[in-house]
Amino acid sequence: MKQALPLREIALVALGGALGAVARYALSLVIPASDGIPVATLTANLAGAFLLGLMTFWLGARGTDVGGRRNARLFLGTGVLGGFTTYSLLAVELGEFVLAQNWTLAAIYASTTLVGGALASLLGMIAGDAIGRGQPEAEIGADHA
């Protein structure tokens, strides 16, 4: 038997993704490239990694992925932060550095994004877990559908 598409979940992700993409575009207007380094993309990816780690572990510390927690994860994590961060633009920017034979900048940008993103995510996870464990359940309404 065919299962119906989860339209509510799809809508949460789509709306969140649109908001995240608009936020990333706005960031690119506010933070220009500096000495050829795409600072807005780097900022979006590092901030997004931190926030995704924070949100995931904050919600995870509160309980299972159901109800309000699931909706928050889909809207904020998959949607907003998925739209805000950008692997594809990172890949294009790295390709541009390589085509320009700017190997040093390509290596610095790639390693800063990957290592910095992993560290930012780890810090977010630690913070999210600590915050989530310190809050009473009622404060986040986690199990409301």
Question: What is the CA 125 to chain-centroid distance, rounded?
Answer: 13
Could you list the pLDDT tens digit for every one of the 145 residues in the chain? 677 789 999 999 999 999 999 999 999 999 999 988 999 999 999 999 999 999 999 998 888 888 889 999 999 999 999 999 999 999 999 999 999 999 999 999 999 999 999 999 999 999 999 998 887 664 455 444 4
**SS3 assignment, position 37:** strand
User: Residue 34 forms beta bridges with which residues?
Assistant: 37
Q: Quote the number of domains for the chain.
A: 1
User: Residue 37 forms beta bridges with which residues?
Assistant: 34
Judge whether 144 lies within some domain: no
**CB of 145 closer than 8 Å to CB of 68:** yes
pTM: 0.86
Quote the CA–CA distance of 100 and 88 in Å, as a whole number: 18
Range of the domain at 91: 7-138
**SS3 assignment, position 34:** strand
The residue behind tokens 């931190």 is: 50
